[in-house]
Structure 1
Amino acid sequence: MTLSPQALEFAQTLVRMNTVSQNSNLELIHFIRDHLARLGVKSRLTFNDSKTKANLFATLGEGKPAGIILSGHTDTVPWDGQDWSMDPLSALVKDGPEGPSLYGRGSADMKAFIGIAVSHAEQFLNSEAPFAIHLAFSYDEEVGCFGVKELIADLRDANIQPLACIVGEPTSMVPAIAHKGVYRYKCCVRGKEAHSSLTPHSVNAIEMAARVVGRLRDMGEGFEREEPRFEGFDVPFSTTSVGQFHGGIADNVVPRDAEFRYEFRDLPTANAAQMQSEVVAYAKSLEPAMKKVAPAAGFEFETICEIPSFLGSKDDPVTRLAQELTGEQGTTLVAFGTEAGLFKNAGISTVVCGPGSIRQAHQPDEYVSLAQLARCEAFMQGLARTRSIDWPPA
């Protein structure tokens, strides 16, 4: 199984584009749009508020009764402070731990998948498959899956009803049928400053914040102790984590302000909204005593991102199709969040399956092996040759 030069060239071209989430992704989106336009395919673009980023949705096989989405995100995480041995945008091909590999930021997560999908656009157009292929490429997945929400809303408004979705995140080409959710929040605490010799006249924002942080820790320990296990995950229960904490200006000043950020990674069988409600309710229970000293004191919460968990099934037709195309008999679960839960919640049967490993993603010298890319290309070629599938499920 050998990767074609065309597929590799498309993957390299995308890796060389700097689409770190803080940057625009329009160079990449316009490159794909223009390539599809040369094939006679029109793309739907949906933009962020500043028009600096866009999602792309295109249908290959217009007029067929239903379609399968090939989904990927175009943004990458930054590489600031990482010890790279090469230019992260070099898209260098060289020998690596898994043989010849494509190196560069986004090579595994997940530009190679997008590049291989786009390189097969003409084959999908000429396919005799009984379904269309939809390409759905989003912005700002890495910072909260913001772009795909606009893309899905646009599909709904346009009454486009895809049959199923394959999210090409790196699973080593093993179909993944579940992942946890990722829910992140910021909590800002307002107290009342005072000289530290006069603490009864103050509200210590750090101490109040610490009480809520302690509650989060208690919740996490409760999940580990009591939550029913979901076997197959590295950590088979929901977790909490406080990632940042800021507050105070001097040792002898009772701090007026504090801020911390935290997350829940909830099992597909858990309820992240209920978890957050418990945190907010506990914080509000502390406010009466705070307000007796300073009426303006209290807690404010801000949602950073809410990425729902994903739970598919080994019996879903799209999972069985992915197994057939990859030659894999089993399925897996993944620890990381993806856009799959959003597609599934929109009523679209979904599976996660793509080349490379999450162990290489977000790392210095990120890479994906050419062997994995060759398997991905065989997947695309098999999809184009598919003549019938068990849809809808019996």
Structure 2
Amino acid sequence: MNLIYSLISLLMIVTNLCKQLRVKLKIKMINKINEFVQRLSTKCEPQDLIVAFEKLKSIERAKFIVNKSTTSKFQRFMCYFIFIFNNIAVSRYLILGLTNDKTLQFILGDHFATFNERTFFNIMIYLANYQGMTMNYFNIHLNNFVDKPFTRILEDYVESITTYKGELYLSNYHNRLVRKWYTYGIRIMIFFTYLIVIYAFITNFLIVVTERKDLRTLYVQLSLLCVFQYFKHFSSFSTNWFLLHWFITILFTYCRLSSFTTVFNNQLESSQGQKTFIFELQKFNNWLDSFNRQISLTTLFIFSYLSFFTVVIVYYGSQHNFVHTGINVLFRVASVASPLIISLFCYFVSFIPRKGKRLHLMIYKLSTFNCKDAQLMLKRLEILDRFSYRKIGLYLNENKLICNHFSIIFLLECIGLYLLMYTNINKRALVSY
């Protein structure tokens, strides 16, 4: 009896200790979450941005992202070598998708050799990777063959903070906003890139190992996987580097437009203030036109490519049943997530023309003020005429402004392309049947 009572008391003590430990772990987890949220909500000081920028520069050197200022021949050689090698590595998926030769499948390392839809999977992986290779090519072209790339504005911004010369005509609130997103964007880019690389490696590794293969084929495919994934992670960093600069540049554009509206309401009582305001606005508008020219062809290609790729994913996610359940789930999720992400992106970009429209109305109001300076009056009419001819905002090409109606237009075009694909593919299937 005493032994039973002792065991019961011991069990109660252990239970109480477990409860106390669980409570302590919950409190510690809550404190960690609160600390993380507070860190995100705190202001990023200029020194934090400078440290993050230096970290980004070290990544550029380590991942062979070069520009005109790079004088190292080894850096340049590795940049072009990695780009060419990755293009060849991506092209192997296209070759595997177009051939049924067993020898080529063995040499090139076809991961999907035992899949019924091996041709489709190889073509889809080629299309997905080719998008990244296109952005790598544009990245090299932008950094080496463009006199004033739009990414330079961010380096100028960090340099202005370092030298304490003012921060490119931003209000205090928008200055903190850009600084915060730039600092956290660099950290997120590093984490997100490594996450993609690790996920891609684990996924391909599981596909290679779980399928039934002889040891020789398994050895060849694992060797190719390690080599290709190693070189591909350089291109992943280059692609995400470009996307980070593109995103922060759009945010910077929005913050500058908001700063202009703030300045208009506060500091335009004198003729000198109006002259400074118009001069800065003209400089900004020239830079925005240059940004649109640099990005227009690339943005048009990316949107066209993504539209087609999204429609293919939605079609096969809704109309085709794959043998593997995991692939079915993957296509179902991707068919919902892809249009949603692109629509949210268009909505995010549409804030810029809204601010631009408001600024246009302010310039019109400014041009109605009485003024004795004839040169200032002409400048006001000139910039008003310029904004009337070409609205402020981001353009898909020279004429298509990405506005708040663009998401609806994009979705309608995708639906039309989906119906066209559905009609043609099902018509062929009925004829062959």
Q: Same fold (TM over 0.5)?
A: no
Greater RCO, 1 or 2 (C-alpha within 8 Å, sep 6+): 1
Q: TM-score, length-normalised on structure 1?
A: 0.29
Greater percentage in helix: 2
Rg larger in structure: 2
- More strand, by proportion: 1
